[in-house]
Structure 1
Amino acid sequence: MDTKNKLPLDRVYHWETARAGDVYMTQPMGGDTVIDFTWRRAVGEARRMASYLKSLNLPEKSRIGIVSKNCAHWILSDWAIWMAGHVSVPLYPTLNAETVRYVLEHSGCEVLFVGKLDDWDSMKAGVPDGVHCLSYPLSPPNDFKTWDDIVAKYPPMKENVESDPHELATIVYTSGSTGRPKGVMLSFENLGYASIGGTEALDITANERMLSYLPLSHVFERFVVELGSMYRGFHLYFAESLDTFVEDLKRAQPTLFLAVPRIWTKFQHGVFQKMPQEKLARLLRIPLLNRIVKRKILTNLGLQHVKFAGSGSAPLSHDILEWYRGLGLELLEGYGMSENFAYSHMTKPGRARTGYVGEPLPGVDVRISEEGEVQVKSPATMMGYYRDDEKTRETFTEDGYLRTGDKGEIDELGRLRLTGRIKEMFKTSKGKYVAPAPIENRLMSHPDIEMVCVSGANHPQPHCLVMLSEEAQRKTADEAFRKELEQSFKTLLSEVNGAVDPHEQLKFMAVVRDGWSIENDFLTPTLKLKRNVVEDAYKEMADHWYNEKQAVIWQ
């Protein structure tokens, strides 16, 4: 890699002079207060914090943690850590104390930035006594040294630190859908290569606007939002809270927008609450009204200026994908992992194919193994897992390809279709293998279903567990609505079973009362289903449900 002006800090130093007075980040501070960070101010504060970190005389390449919801200081901390010659370790702001302790101890963190958090009281017991904590202006009450006091006291680091492209830049702990999270080691070259390839593939410019609200501790947001803005110099806005999300979106008026499938589903449900799906479909068929209605929907969502919208982290229902594209929103799917900094595949504008996650990004080599596994290799591929040589060896083939664990197929234009997880496939008592993901995608087309889990290992036929949308849950108290919903579920089951192989046909649908959330450990911090947790929670009821011989069962 030609490193001239290609590594993350090089880009930061470039904008510090090239666009010194331009606003880089807009941060709501509560109420009506909003702070704008110019490039000069942003880099200046990072340089001052780097001076402070250097004053601590930590060993070279010490690990420094960041636990915070998204905010301007999260990104400034990342820069300061690199400027001081250390390694950043992001932690999800929703972790429990046990996992906080595991990550901090496993990585050997010496310092921890404690930022904007909703439930610090339940997390702080996990911070080992020897860890030196620092706070942000938006941090919960604490007695730590504050960001503002430090940058007021310490002079800016004068030199522009040059990074070695092969040096460790960050350790990203996977969200851990099964077992302990693993520490993915990413180098400056990994970050730089992905950032250049991704922004060039979408022709992203300095004139874009993005709202940052998905966790920066996840590679998807960090790749596109933090690193994307560092490489192209565009304007970042931050969301204040869930309650102010609509106002935050309107302030940002984003031209690029990222969301995970659950958010796209919620947006659609919100539209259908205001206007029934059938009525909306009728209006969209009227030529004179078509354009006005589409524009109004996108404007109400705050997405009227979006030229590209992205969905990632999990598959999005084909019906929902087509619905958004029908509104004129260029909704692109992407595919990647923590292990390659989310840099693998992306749908190209005008080349989308329903059910496919796109084509390889520049420099990505992909193949399908004899077992049907997707295997990828690129300069964005991780260095390995921190302090786990055995797991690192298991994850790579002998010739250096990353084993993704996903099954897939490639079409004639090089577009990748994912057909399930190798480890998620289960065997029925008839000895037949079932891949749950494609069946779940079909079920997610129903507007009242928010989440679904297809299961059934060691049973004659699979079944599905369904969590309703919030609106549908409220309305089930109405007996007429419940009967109507049950009939629509029976129709859905019939349609799905008619489209899959006989051994994949669902015996029944169980509608669960529980909410699946991060808090009750059913979801990872990135809203992915913890399949093993969900299956274990209903395991004892499954035998009884099979014996009921009903198509739809209400828990």
Structure 2
Amino acid sequence: MSEAAAIEERPASIAVDFLARIRATPEAEAYRFPVPRPGGRDEWKSLTWAQTADRVTAIAAGLHALGVRSADRVGILSETRIDWILADLGILCSGAATTTVYPSTNADEAAFILADSGSTVVFAENQGQVDKLSGVRERLPDVRRIVTFDGAGDDEWVTTFADLEEAGRALLAKDPGLVERLIGEIERDQLATLIYTSGTTGRPKGVRLTHDAWAYQAAAQAMLAQNDENDLQYLWLPLAHSFGKVMISGQLRIGYPIAVDGRIPKLMENLAIVRPTFMAAAPRVFEKVYNTVYTRMKAESAVKQRIFRWSVAVGRRHVAATREGGTPGRVLAVQQQIADRLVFAKLRELFGGRMKGCVSGAAAISDEVAEFFEAIGVPVLQGYGLTENSAGAFVNRFGANRIGTVGLPLPGTEVMIAEDGEVLLRSPAIMTGYHNDPESTAAALSEDGWLHTGDIGELDERGVLRITDRKKDLIKTSGGKYVAPSDVEGRFKGLCPYVSNIIVHGNNRNFCSALIALDADSLKSWAAGAGEGLESMTYAELVATPQVRALIAGYVDKLNGELQRWQTIKKFEILPRDLSVEHGELTPSLKVKRPVVEKQYAVLLDKIYEDTLVH
């Protein structure tokens, strides 16, 4: 079957894919999830597809019993966990639409999202989230019921997840075919998901995504996938974000199980236990592993350091030799085998030892970091998309990973580069618009269905896309020179193993500067071997020392040696703490909110440029 035919023959909704998967492999493992035990240990349990179906249909029927009907909105306010997925599938199978809310969202913004969306029922993770909603109840006139995963019911506004399922099973006992009928009534262009984008200023906008958008993503992923039901995905991404959401769509079509746990501090520990074959992550995760490996290696003996450096150099040469289908020479092939045995196999054990590769999205990953992972045998496939096109538009392929690009478009996705370099997209995954915001919708969508992404990019002769910057983030210095900050920032992350985040600044200034936040773990490892009493200092104390200033200045000098004169970082400041989601400087998908950071550190930035004349 051709790609076009496979895309055109997709079902009307992903709920149909769910039913098909249940019938095809009812006893196969569908999901794996941790159950906390005393002492901080977890016991991992599984659900088969048949067991998943039992719970999902009960949830869908339970929602129906609460009066939820076609295209009604139902919110989910929770961390990534198995209950999130079950609730979402239940909502979809009832014919309703999921409103996603990040658990870190404050009460004011949660109230806005739930009220703006018109959500009538909300799944809340625990008592803390229930209390958050109770505090703004007067602003939620449409919310009839809260369903809590872990909290207690109150026989009035709050019910438990178990009680909802029990009510659903009671209804199904009277009407066994209810959920299948509800799925059969879902129309292709019916609202399935409202995802509110975490804007840098002002209120977030609700992106309206249809049942067809997710059915398309499932069909496109199934066509590209080199994995099967024997693979295992590890899922930690926030499911309130489109990147996390898209990673649970293709599974229904392909049939592999997912191990799900959104607790980020448990990530590396869980990888060793679960031993997945692939996962998706934001670049920050890969950068942190990269930095950790390099800083730990500096504490090893001189012999081990030489072996490590030799092996990585061999790996990088091997990556270069095999790029575009090339073949390494016999000597290089033997060297690669030795490097793999001495170093790379041990590094792969950090990921459980079975990892075929990873998908990176939500922001750009530096070429240096991507080449490192390719060299050790865990290729990181960079992809590209927006919430407005349900996350998936471009992705690199296994065996054809073109580092520095976001690869080829998904089957069924069209791309066009506008005269000003902006990337335009058109596909079944494109949103129908912003909820209650026709003005923003008209600005983002053309009459013939093209989505204006706001990203600047270029296509090569093969159709491979390279994103060069955000249209609105391009810096123009007072000297009239344009600078792409993300390019400079990505280069620095590849050079400096101690950096966590960097923000290049310089719009309408006479030179470029940078605010640099360091990775606390990597910095602590460096301090442990630096002596001079540094090992006992806190992060804030360390970054104020001349030793750390000199350490980072060395990497800034290396960076400047790779840049054009007008791109170079003339001055920098090290921030007293790392950027965080809690302080509003990062989105939940770990993207930097540049305007927020620049506003927060405006005094520091102004100080950089005070009484400064740079030629």
Instruction: Say whether residues 1:255 and 2:265 are aligned partners.
Output: no
Instruction: Say whether residues 1:84 and 2:84 are aligned partners.
Output: no
Corresponding residue for 1:244? 266
Within 2, Cα distance between the matches of 1:352 and 1:34?
33
Aligned-pair distance for 1:488? 4.5
CA distances 1:496-543 after superposition (whole Å, capped 9, x unpaired): 334333322221121111221011111111111010111012212223
Instruction: Say whether residues 1:265 and 2:287 are aligned partners.
Output: yes
1:7–1:540 CA distance, 2 compared to 1 (3 A) = same
1:299–1:136 CA distance, 2 compared to 1 (3 A) = farther
Instruction: Say whether residues 1:545 and 2:612 are aligned partners.
Output: no
Choose the corresponding residue for 1:198, options 221, 227, 242. Answer: 221
1:233–1:373 CA distance, 2 compared to 1 (3 A) = same
Choose the corresponding residue for 1:208, options 218, 221, 231. Answer: 231
User: Aligned partner of 2:310: which letter?
Assistant: R
1:393–1:123 CA distance, 2 compared to 1 (3 A) = same
User: Aligned partner of 2:555: which letter?
Assistant: L
Q: Is the 8 A contact 1:3 1:165 kept in 2?
A: no
Which segment is superposed worse, 319-328 or 229-238? 229-238
Corresponding residue for 2:105? 95
Instruction: Say whether residues 1:340 and 2:389 are aligned partners.
Output: yes
Choose the corresponding residue for 1:515, options 568, 578, 581. Answer: 578
Instruction: Say whether residues 1:312 and 2:361 are aligned partners.
Output: yes
Q: Is the 8 A contact 1:28 1:240 kept in 2?
A: no
Q: Is the 8 A contact 1:73 1:136 kept in 2?
A: no
Instruction: Say whether residues 1:11 and 2:25 are aligned partners.
Output: no
Corresponding residue for 1:411? 460
Q: Is the 8 A contact 1:168 1:187 kept in 2?
A: yes
SS at match of 2:569: coil
Instruction: Say whether residues 1:359 and 2:408 are aligned partners.
Output: yes
Corresponding residue for 1:168? 191
Aligned-pair distance for 1:134? 3.8
Corresponding residue for 1:323? 372
1:473–1:294 CA distance, 2 compared to 1 (3 A) = closer
Which segment is superposed worse, 486-495 or 334-343? 486-495
Return 5+ residue gaps in structure 2 as ranges: 1-6, 300-304, 315-334, 535-544
Q: Is the 8 A contact 2:483 2:567 kept in 1?
A: yes
SS at match of 2:62: helix
Q: Is the 8 A contact 1:7 1:165 kept in 2?
A: yes
Which segment is superposed worse, 117-126 or 25-34? 117-126
User: Aligned partner of 2:177: which letter?
Assistant: K
Instruction: Say whether residues 1:145 and 2:159 are aligned partners.
Output: yes
1:273–1:488 CA distance, 2 compared to 1 (3 A) = closer
Within 1, Cα distance between the matches of 2:230 and 2:46?
16
1:4–1:201 CA distance, 2 compared to 1 (3 A) = closer
Instruction: Say whether residues 1:460 and 2:506 are aligned partners.
Output: no
User: Aligned partner of 1:310: which letter?
Assistant: V
User: Aligned partner of 1:444: which letter?
Assistant: K
Which segment is superposed worse, 124-133 or 12-21? 124-133
1:327–1:426 CA distance, 2 compared to 1 (3 A) = same
Q: How does 1:422-433 map to 2 (within 5 A)?
A: 422-433=471-482
Return 5+ residue gaps in structure 1 as ranges: none
Instruction: Say whether residues 1:221 and 2:244 are aligned partners.
Output: yes
Which segment is superposed worse, 77-86 or 359-368? 77-86
Q: Is the 8 A contact 1:96 1:123 kept in 2?
A: no
Aligned-pair distance for 1:158? 2.0
Count residues in correspondence: 548
1:4–1:321 CA distance, 2 compared to 1 (3 A) = closer
Q: Is the 8 A contact 1:184 1:382 kept in 2?
A: yes
Q: How does 1:463-478 map to 2 (within 5 A)?
A: 463-474=513-524
Within 2, Cα distance between the matches of 1:500 and 1:274?
29
Choose the corresponding residue for 1:30, options 33, 36, 48. Answer: 36
Which segment is superposed worse, 445-454 or 113-122? 113-122
Q: Is the 8 A contact 1:408 1:416 kept in 2?
A: yes
Aligned-pair distance for 1:124? 5.1
1:284–1:455 CA distance, 2 compared to 1 (3 A) = closer
Corresponding residue for 2:122? 112
Choose the corresponding residue for 1:450, options 497, 500, 517. Answer: 500
Within 2, Cα distance between the matches of 1:466 and 1:479?
23
Within 1, Cα distance between the matches of 2:126 and 2:374?
35
Which segment is superposed worse, 90-99 or 101-110? 90-99
Q: Is the 8 A contact 2:82 2:261 kept in 1?
A: no
1:471–1:243 CA distance, 2 compared to 1 (3 A) = closer
Aligned-pair distance for 1:132? 3.4
Within 2, Cα distance between the matches of 1:416 and 1:118?
43
Within 1, Cα distance between the matches of 2:437 and 2:571?
42
CA distances 1:162-196 after superposition (whole Å, capped 9, x unpaired): 22111111111112233221111111111111221
Aligned-pair distance for 1:377? 0.9
1:513–1:140 CA distance, 2 compared to 1 (3 A) = farther
Within 1, Cα distance between the matches of 2:152 and 2:164?
17
Aligned-pair distance for 1:140? 4.5
User: Aligned partner of 1:81: which letter?
Assistant: I
Within 2, Cα distance between the matches of 1:541 and 1:240?
35
Q: Is the 8 A contact 2:58 2:168 kept in 1?
A: yes
Within 2, Cα distance between the matches of 1:443 and 1:409?
22
Identity %: 29
User: Aligned partner of 2:397: which letter?
Assistant: K
CA distances 1:71-129 after superposition (whole Å, capped 9, x unpaired): 22211211221222211111112111111011001101110001268766556534545
Within 2, Cα distance between the matches of 1:291 and 1:550?
51
1:388–1:497 CA distance, 2 compared to 1 (3 A) = same
Aligned-pair distance for 1:313? 0.3
CA distances 1:474-503 after superposition (whole Å, capped 9, x unpaired): 456968676565444334333333433332
Within 1, Cα distance between the matches of 2:258 and 2:498?
34
Q: Is the 8 A contact 2:236 2:264 kept in 1?
A: no
CA distances 1:210-268 after superposition (whole Å, capped 9, x unpaired): 111110111111112x1121121111112263443334223321111111011111112
Q: Is the 8 A contact 1:63 1:87 kept in 2?
A: yes
Corresponding residue for 1:47? 57
User: Aligned partner of 2:16: which letter?
Assistant: D
Instruction: Say whether residues 1:380 and 2:403 are aligned partners.
Output: no
Corresponding residue for 2:560? 497
Within 2, Cα distance between the matches of 1:349 and 1:37?
29
